[in-house]
Amino acid sequence: MHKQFHIKLQHDKLPRYLKQSRAMHIMACILLIIYALPYLADFSDNWMMLLGISLPAITILAVTLFRNKLVRDINNNRVFRILEGGFLLMGSMHYLQADKVLPAIVFGMAALFILFLLWMEGRILQDQYIVFEDSHIEVELPLATRTYAWNELQAVMIRDEFLTLSYKDTTIQQLKIQPEFIENEEGDFLFFCQDRIKA
């Protein structure tokens, strides 16, 4: 008999999150290009800085605009965010040393926001599951994982693409799932849940 069940959650908001993620990549790249432009004035002395900042920015911008499937990959996205955050932080420190307070604040805040997105997208872009174990239930949400004890539940039901958790305090939680049960596994799952609730 199964001791654990993993059921994949459907991520209906993923297309919207991906659009927002792409918009943030574009914003970060525009800021980096703005940071790189002053180095054009003295190209012979600053060509390494100009290329070092502008090439990654233009590459990420091109990938975001024309090859957005690459941005969906969590590992590619993580590399892009680290580059963006690092260069924006470098820009903030550069402006701070030049006593340009406002650009330093703008680039510093943008860097912190990009690094926050790095953490957030690490959760949002990966597959999320609801995990049923002997001792508890874990529901993976975009920004947190919630844990419920079996004694909080009254019933667990599956109908079509929806899994319903009915709690003893009369609240109901419906989760859209991608059921991938093999033969008889759904029956085993419901029996497992009923057994844990009665225990």
135-182: per-residue pLDDT in tens? 899 998 877 889 999 999 999 988 888 999 999 988 999 998 887 777
The pair of three-digit structure tokens given for residue 118, joined into one six-digit string: 């790095």
Which residue has 């667990």 as its token pair? 156
Q: Indicate the pTM of the whole model.
A: 0.73
Strands of the chain, DSSP E:
4-9, 129-133, 136-140, 145-149, 153-159, 162-167, 172-178
- Low-confidence residues of the chain: pLDDT under 70: 1-2
Parallel, antiparallel or unpaired: strands 153-159 and 162-167: antiparallel
Paired strand residues for 4: 133
pLDDT value of residue 15: 82
pLDDT value of residue 142: 76
pLDDT value of residue 2: 66
Helix 14-36 / helix 74-97 crossing angle, nearest 10 deg: 30
Which residue has 């997105």 as its token pair? 117
pLDDT value of residue 138: 93
Write down all domains in the chain, each with its CATH number in brackets.
Answer: 14-124 (no CATH), 128-198 (2.30.29.30)
Which residue has 């190209």 as its token pair? 43
pLDDT value of residue 1: 55
> What's the CA gap between 87 and 152, in Å, rounded?
48
